[in-house]
Structure 1
Amino acid sequence: MEGLEEKLKGLSIARRSRPEEPTYLLNVALQPAALLAVSCSNFTVHLHNKDTLNMVGEYQGHSGPICGVVFSHTSPDLLYSGSADGTVRAWDVRRPGSDAAQVFKSDPSHSYCSFDLSCSDTLLCAGTEQVNDEDSFLVFWDVRKPGGALLGVYSESHSDDITQVCFHPRDKDRLASSSTDGLVNVFDLSRGAEEEALLATCNSDSSAGSVCWSGADYTQLLCLSHDEGLHLWDLGQLDTDEPLTVFSTSDARSLTVLADGGGVDYLVGGSWLEEAQKLLVVGGKNSGDLHLMECDDRGLRLLRTLKDGHTSTVRCFLWDAAGEALVTGGEDAQLLLWKPGGEELMKGKKESLKSESALRVKSRPHKKHGYQREKKAA
């Protein structure tokens, strides 16, 4: 079987799509059979054919920035999106343009900046922005019950905006959360109450931006911070005396990983590639160039640089294992499909749209205080 590095080395642009209205492309999700869902900075969700990138539908309904999109695992015709407007909405992709099939809410003061759906499709969890200058909440719903029954909240584990919640890909009760308070928490929801459910707290020593599960049995956790720090922890060592840290750097930009001896300007995110058993980390240059890197206990290693695609910051990516394709989206409003031996139908790199549009993107200043703060007492 051809190795991952060889596949990545063959990537080139096969398709390029850009919405008529200039907008940042923020998050992307894959329905393996046919579709891509993309959240946009104008509060809409676009549906694209995953092979042609042709837009096949749009959903409107959110009144605030969208914090993510996720397809149901067992009912792939359902798509979920979360928003700072205080709702998580479920959409029927068989009815493009229709109203939300279901709307999940909690307290009116809650504004969501992250959400995820468990691998069993039974639980939704959303993370809120900071409320009342000291509290933030993990909110849980049972999606199987009519009206999206609110199950309750965890309120003691984070004290600032919860930037991501991420369910384990195989364990329906395992949940990781990250926050601008610097903490990354891991929960076993089967234990019920928050204090008993909290298994581990890892400190990123900065404002934690995103997390993803990785490793052969998904026992590792990757954390990327807002100031481009990178931390890889092995949660399989929780019950041992061995250190949790596999690799850590406070600033990945300082690492020499590129062919020219320089480093990346920013990190886009990470993804565990199950088939290849590799942790892929994507970084970029402000010019739009993308750098695909492998991350392990030795740090970051450059696998491939992708040029002549994007013209500004890339905000999201995903790897389609079945199609052996990479999808990227960014602040130039472009959605790109990279495939081995791809030949772009529409020749010519698109010009940057950043200067011609007043894009509505919520931006929070990265807080530089209180990152060592301990978990609040129960």
Structure 2
Amino acid sequence: IFLSLQQDVIAGFLYAILILVVFHPVVDLIDNFNLTYKYAPLIIISLHLALGIFSFTLDTWSTSRGDTAQILGCAFEMTAVEKIEEQLASLRIAKRSVLSEEPAYLLDIDISKPAQSESSRFVAVSCSNKSIRVYNRETLNFLREYSGCPGILNGVRFSHTCDSIVFSACTDGTVKCWDIRLATQKAVQIFSGYPSNIFISFDISCNDIIICAGTEKVEKDTFLVFWDARGITNCASATKEPLGVYSESHNDDITKICFHPIEPNLVVSGSTDGLVNVFDINKDNEDDALISTCNSDSSVSFIGWSGKDCKQVYCMTHDEGFCWWDIAQLDTEEPITLLHVLDVRDAVSVENGSLHYLVGGLYHEKADKLFLIGGTSTGNVHLISCSTDGLSCVGSLCGGHSATVRSFCWNLTEESLLTGGEDAQLLLWKPGAVESSLAKKASMKIASSVQNRVRVHNSSLKSRKK
């Protein structure tokens, strides 16, 4: 019996290798078929159903057959993940924006959400010179700029339901909204906070109903402020008052806010107090709304959602740490911490180079994989794969930027990446692309009076440990 089990397992393993050899050359064709052919979902479901009925047809089910099935499943999953990692590593510069007359650091990037089957049309960039710049997404041609605000603009987000509506939070205590279709510089909607509010972070829910902004600490107070975002496109320039605030969950600057990509009632916030809080804003009060509090043990610089159905939360810290939690385990006895790295620069080995800082993270839905974006002071970008076993570098994007990269935006539909940095360049990266625009400038590092809240990465922090 033992020999028979061994033979079955070995046969399953060899069968998996055979499948890899046969299917690896046509993975791209299969992937394109799955994404573009309208009957693909029906065919895929029917194929899986047929395999489920006719595979392993025995009088009795054996554990060895189960092992074989598991090996085959793991082999297919490994192939998919490896293919995604290969695509990320093959990213090359497709387009490069033309430098503006007033160069500035590019601090945040967002792309417009496509209407139905159309592709994204616009890119919006938050700049260190207190402006929002809008570009054509495909050509990176400059379209318009919103400036002249009394405060500093922090972050930029497009509406999920209207690709011409763009938002940004301002240190003057407002969240502003512009309509790209209009020639005016004037905001079509202003969401006003309370007199002492200085907004340094914000986000809008996936159904465009709620806006949430986070404040700097003033005296002893920090707030999450909420507004009803509905009715923007049909109203003239007007001011909306807040729906209410959360004031008890953080005790320092709220640096990041991120709504859940699927469930509009869930939002996560991060702060320099080290706490990452998950809220259900459908609840009646702040105490009931607070679902989870995770401690990163350091000042939070970036937060996001990951995992299937986005049940996981991750964050990065200003001293380049990384934390990853599984919120789905809150009601179980299992630990919620998936990974905690005190300093990613020490944990990741980069071939022929080094890692100086982290920029952010992206969850790749197709591969069910979380990736981190990091870089060097000379402008190289590193792509880092995350697993519960640790972090590993899967590729580097070189020859694009000439200074620190501060922002990025991943386009899942087109498998492309946008990056912006201290060299004032906006770059579009695509798999296997060949750059057709102007050559890279030798050095475009610019001087800029960036506010203290915009972090400058310092390699001397590497020696600092928690």
TM-score, normalised by the number of residues in structure 1: 0.92
In 2, the alpha carbon distance for the partners of 1:198 and 1:351 equals: 50
Which of the numbers 90, 95, 106 marks the counterpart of 1:25?
106
- Secondary structure of the 1:269 match is strand
CA distance 1:8–1:29, shift in 2 (3 Å) = same
In 2, the alpha carbon distance for the partners of 1:96 and 1:192 equals: 41
2:345 counterpart of 1:242: no
Who is 1:231 aligned against? Answer: 323
In 2, the alpha carbon distance for the partners of 1:141 and 1:351 equals: 45
Q: Is the 8 A contact 1:89 1:103 kept in 2?
A: yes
Unaligned runs of 5+ in 2: 1-26, 29-82, 115-119, 456-460, 462-466
- Secondary structure of the 1:150 match is coil
Higher relative CO (Cα under 8 Å, sequence separation at least 6) belongs to 1
In 1, the alpha carbon distance for the partners of 2:152 and 2:391 equals: 32
Q: Is the 8 A contact 1:56 1:96 kept in 2?
A: no
Who is 2:445 aligned against? Answer: 354
Tell me the alpha carbon deviations over residues 290-344 of structure 1, each in whole angstroms, 9 at most, x when there is no partner: 0011112122121110111111110111111222211000011000011122221
In 2, the alpha carbon distance for the partners of 1:61 and 1:192 equals: 38
Amino acid at match of 2:142: M
Matches within 5 A, 1:164-243: 164-243=256-335
In 1, the alpha carbon distance for the partners of 2:184 and 2:432 equals: 34
Who is 2:248 aligned against? Answer: 156
Query: What is the percentage of aligned positions where both structures have the same residue?
Result: 48
Matches within 5 A, 1:1-378: 1-2=27-28, 3-17=83-97, 18-31=99-112, 32=114, 33-132=120-219, 134-144=220-230, 147-260=239-352, 263-355=354-446, 357=447, 359-364=448-453
- Secondary structure of the 2:386 match is strand
Q: Number of residues paired by the alignment? A: 363
Tell me the alpha carbon deviations over residues 143-180 of structure 1, each in whole angstroms, 9 at most, x when there is no partner: 12674341011000001000011110111110100000
Range that drifts further, 208-217 or 138-147: 138-147
- Secondary structure of the 2:282 match is helix
Q: Is the 8 A contact 2:105 2:421 kept in 1?
A: yes
- Secondary structure of the 1:272 match is strand
RMSD of aligned C-alpha atoms?
1.7
CA distance 1:44–1:185, shift in 2 (3 Å) = same
Amino acid at match of 1:203: N
In 2, the alpha carbon distance for the partners of 1:10 and 1:256 equals: 20
- Secondary structure of the 1:47 match is strand
TM-score, normalised by the number of residues in structure 2: 0.75
In 1, the alpha carbon distance for the partners of 2:454 and 2:303 equals: 19
In 1, the alpha carbon distance for the partners of 2:390 and 2:304 equals: 17
In 2, the alpha carbon distance for the partners of 1:187 and 1:289 equals: 36
Deviation for aligned residue 1:92: 0.3
Range that drifts further, 64-73 or 193-202: 64-73
Q: Is the 8 A contact 1:5 1:303 kept in 2?
A: yes
Tell me the alpha carbon deviations over residues 38-91 of structure 1, each in whole angstroms, 9 at most, x when there is no partner: 011111111111111101111124222221111111122211111222111111
Tell me the alpha carbon deviations over residues 222-249 of structure 1, each in whole angstroms, 9 at most, x when there is no partner: 1000000000100010111111110111
Deviation for aligned residue 1:282: 0.4
Unaligned runs of 5+ in 1: 369-378
Q: Is the 8 A contact 2:121 2:163 kept in 1?
A: no
Q: Choose 1 or 2 for highest CA Rg.
A: 2
Deviation for aligned residue 1:6: 2.2
- Secondary structure of the 1:191 match is coil
Q: Is the 8 A contact 1:61 1:99 kept in 2?
A: no
- Which has more helix, going by share of residues? 2
